[in-house]
Structure 1
Amino acid sequence: MDYADRVAGLFGPRQRQLSLSKLLDFTPLSPAVQAHLAQVYVTLAVALCLSAAGVYASALTGFGQGLGMLGFLVSVPWMLATPPRPDTLGKRRALFGAAALSQGLLLAPIVRAALALHPGVLFTAFAGTAGVFACFSAAALLSPRRQYLFLGGLLSSVLSTFFLLRFATWAFGGRALLFEAELYLGLAVFAGYVVYDTQMIVERCEAGIPDVLRDALDLFVDFAAIFVRLLAILLRNAEEKKRRERESESRSRRRGAGTSRLGH
């Protein structure tokens, strides 16, 4: 049975033939799944390093989000459309690396803004993202199998609603309110995707269709989405705090000037 047949067996019409005992199989992770997860997380770490290199390359060359978006939209579908066979491994690794570098180019503007305005916020956002990612991944791995697979439809529905609302705001306005929702609710959505994608990785591996690059890419996209939203929230909070401090200092100077005039 080739890769396509096994995928169809897991997600296609053959899914109806799964017995109730298999659906309620909550056995611990097998050694094969544990080894696969270790490879996935190592590959994810490589992707994060490549993304950081993309941010650095953008700072040196001036390449912006346009090139990053083009590279991401080309490399990701191409990699997913390439069957995971030994003879295509090098090609898929190159496409995976291109996707990670392109993501770095996409993140470069907000990272540069953070470094210019509030450098400490950048480390806080990355540490917070790593903490959120680790906690939700652990929740998925320590929970019974398939417990959170129902989240897939719910999370996809929320993202689809965001896309529809974005089109609606172009016509009717209200972008500020939508931006708030995308920041906070979007953060929760992609945290949920960490749980969902982690359990899907386990299920695909148990079904005999492990794909380290695809699984690492899923988690990498979740990590990047959480990071950019958390960084935007922290930057806005830091700017708001700075604005309040300036206003407080301005009021203090005005009160001091008024007291000085009364003294004379």
Structure 2
Amino acid sequence: MDAFTSFFDSQTSSRNRWASESLKNFRQISPVVQNHLKLVYLTLCCALIASAAGAYLHILWNIGGIITALSCMGCMVWLLCTPTYQEKKRVSLLMAAGLFEGATIGPLIELAIEINPSVLISAFGGTALAFGCFSAAAMLARRREYLYLGGLLSSGLSMLMWLHFAASIFGGSAALFKFELYFGLLIFVGYMVVDTQEMIEKAHHGDLDYVKHALTLFTDFVAVFVRILIIMLKNSAERNERKKKRRD
């Protein structure tokens, strides 16, 4: 009984110590940086709403394709080349990029609605949950703790691009596609943590460009969402095929 009590006390003290350390780490974020984070996540939410509007416009008028993808890239480059004092213009460019990005992934979203609308909701909910959890982990961790992962993630991303390039030339297999899908998901989930810590670190050094930081997190969110949606659609299609075979 005494051993059980001492074990319980040690576990309770360790949890309290972890909580206090986490709160101390969160207090390292100054009020200026906290206000910056609020602006970043508010702008990110607006960009996601614009992206949803773009997907809806594709469903109505079938506008998604190469043109919207190039338009999205053009808006992003234009935003990065625009001076920071032109705040309204940069926010408008971010919203336009979100709109075109939503239209670009509109065919995938339309396919998900046709197959199983609940998959779309689950994919978005899972992405939002993962984004919130990993962003919170990056905020509560020690400063610059995860920045070392940036080099590993960049190497993984370049490897992923070379695999995709090779598959487009020599042809790919189902196993290679599955590897690219899951490996890409792992990379962009890692980028959620690294980009969040890098954003906080830059803000501590005076870089309060919330539009650029929101753009970075927006690309991470969309990359993770697309991969989770494809994985869930693939699993749903495989379950439907198994059900048909059982009926036959």
TM-score, normalised via structure 2 length: 0.87
Deviations 1:81-135 (A, max 9, x none): 11211xx112111211111001101110110000001111011001100111011
2 CA distance for matches of 1:190 and 1:170? 22
Q: Secondary structure at the match of 2:105?
A: helix
Once the two structures are TM-superposed, the CA of residue 27 in structure 1 deviates from its matched residue by 6.8
Alignment of 1:4-83 (within 5 A): 28-83=28-83
2 CA distance for matches of 1:146 and 1:218? 18
Q: Secondary structure at the match of 2:230?
A: helix
1 CA distance for matches of 2:80 and 2:169? 34
Deviations 1:231-260 (A, max 9, x none): 10011101100100000011xxxxxxxxxx
Once the two structures are TM-superposed, the CA of residue 67 in structure 1 deviates from its matched residue by 2.2
Once the two structures are TM-superposed, the CA of residue 216 in structure 1 deviates from its matched residue by 0.5
Once the two structures are TM-superposed, the CA of residue 174 in structure 1 deviates from its matched residue by 2.7
* Contact residue 166 and residue 178 of structure 1 kept, 8 A: no
Q: Which residue of 1 aligns with 2:5?
A: none
Once the two structures are TM-superposed, the CA of residue 178 in structure 1 deviates from its matched residue by 2.6
2 CA distance for matches of 1:212 and 1:26? 19
Letter in 2 for 1:164: W
2 CA distance for matches of 1:89 and 1:221? 20
2 CA distance for matches of 1:170 and 1:194? 28
2 CA distance for matches of 1:42 and 1:26? 20
Q: Which residue of 1 aligns with 2:97?
A: 99
2 CA distance for matches of 1:34 and 1:117? 41
Q: Which residue of 1 aligns with 2:197?
A: 199
Structure 1 segments (4+ residues) deviating >3 Å: none
| Mean Cα deviation higher: 161-170 or 201-210 | 161-170
2:229 paired with 1:227: no
Q: Which residue of 1 aligns with 2:245?
A: 247
Alignment of 1:248-263 (within 5 A): 248-250=246-248
2 CA distance for matches of 1:56 and 1:192? 29
Q: Decide which of 124, 127, 136 is 2:125's aligned counterpart.
A: 127
Sequence identity (%)? 46
TM-score, normalised via structure 1 length: 0.82
Once the two structures are TM-superposed, the CA of residue 68 in structure 1 deviates from its matched residue by 1.7
Q: Secondary structure at the match of 1:193?
A: helix
Letter in 1 for 2:240: K
* Contact residue 26 and residue 145 of structure 1 kept, 8 A: no
Q: 1:26 to 1:130 in 2, by over 3 A?
A: closer
RMSD in angstroms over aligned alpha carbons? 1.4
Q: Decide which of 134, 144, 147 is 1:146's aligned counterpart.
A: 144
Structure 2: state its 5+ residue gaps: 1-24
Letter in 2 for 1:37: L
1 CA distance for matches of 2:89 and 2:185? 33
2 CA distance for matches of 1:97 and 1:242? 37
Aligned length: 224
Q: 1:90 to 1:84 in 2, by over 3 A?
A: same
Q: Which residue of 2 aligns with 1:214?
A: 212
Once the two structures are TM-superposed, the CA of residue 166 in structure 1 deviates from its matched residue by 1.7
Letter in 2 for 1:40: V
Q: Which residue of 1 aligns with 2:18?
A: none
Q: Which has the larger radius of gyration?
A: 1
* Contact residue 187 and residue 229 of structure 1 kept, 8 A: yes
Letter in 1 for 2:103: L
Letter in 2 for 1:231: L
* Contact residue 64 and residue 105 of structure 2 kept, 8 A: no
1 CA distance for matches of 2:168 and 2:56? 33
Alignment of 1:108-123 (within 5 A): 108-123=106-121
Structure 1: state its 5+ residue gaps: 1-24, 251-264
